[in-house]
Amino acid sequence: MMKPLPSWAQQGAFIGIVGGQDFVEDRYAAMKAQGLPMAGIWMQDWVGQYDFPEGTRLIWNWELSKTQYPNWDEMVDNWEKDGVKPLIYINPYFANLNTGQFKDVEVTHDYFTEGAYKGYFVKNQVGRPYMVDSISIQFAMVDFTNPEAREWIKDIIKNNLVKIGRAGGWMHDFGEYMPFDAVLYDGSDPYVYHNKYADEWQKVCQEALDETEEGYEIVWWSRSGSTQTPGHARLMWMGDQLTTYDKYDGMQSAMIGLMNANVSGFTMGHSDIGGYTSTIVKKLGKTWLSYTRDETLLKRWIEMSAFSDMVMRSHPTNLPDDNF
């Protein structure tokens, strides 16, 4: 059974914004002036970001970026006076920061190198970290069957997200990528462990927060799981819908997903308001394909969320500058 959410999460919207501290604070001031009820400001880019030919990606290293948010504590202190919490992002993967696209990225702690050296990642058939490609990112997966690796990622959650990040919650992303030819620390069959990996990602977070004073008050939302996940996860969301109305992967599909999830035991759910996946394909100066949201779609999604979701959380999409 999924636990009720803390009262603060019902006092306003979770507003998704990216762009660094100056931009976020400017938008916050504008929304505050309009009297918008806000429970939290959700900043995926708290870890920093970098540009590549196809767009912008987060730095999967799970520590606060002082480049992106140089005065984080001052900003959070000001929001606390208004009863608004910072919301951030994490997943169970660590990017290889030794590849070329990260040459100008500054971090204080290279977690990929540490995790690889200590054997904390899922391995391939020759005993090396199993590297997975995600467009511009090459990453390794934490091996939850390794007790030391579990404590390692739990310490990152407790220290970097809760203590330093002072987060009221976060997107607890991914968990569904377990390769069928991987080698796990305890010898588990990766085919059998595939769905369990997603469930263990939720359990790790629950264990970490049970060891903090803030535990119950923190809201984290997940997209992957199995039949046992409702007993561990705090809040679900419906994944990455297209910025469309359609029933296959757009706004309508989010409502269908919510209803199916609810009768399956995932009783605390919501979707990205406005959708997430936006695509623009151009050739010879002409737009051949475009999935972008306009003002009307965003408003309709807001209305749907108001009457169906456990929380209202907006998303800037994967192409924030091209969507309303």
Residues with active-site annotation: 173, 176, 240
239: region left, alpha or beta (phi > 0 left; psi from -120 to 50 alpha)? left
Sign of the dihedral defined by the CA atoms of residues 30, 36, 37, 42, in that order: negative
In total, the chain counts a number of residues equal to 324
What are the start-end ranges of the E strands in the chain? 13-16, 38-42, 49-52, 55-58, 85-90, 93-95, 132-134, 137-141, 169-172, 219-222, 235-237, 269-270, 272-273, 279-283, 286-291, 313-314
Name residue 137's beta-bridge partners.
134
Report the C-alpha gap between 25 and 83 in whole angstroms.
Answer: 15
* Residue 156 amino acid letter: I
Residue 140 contacts residue 129 (beta carbons within 8 Å): yes
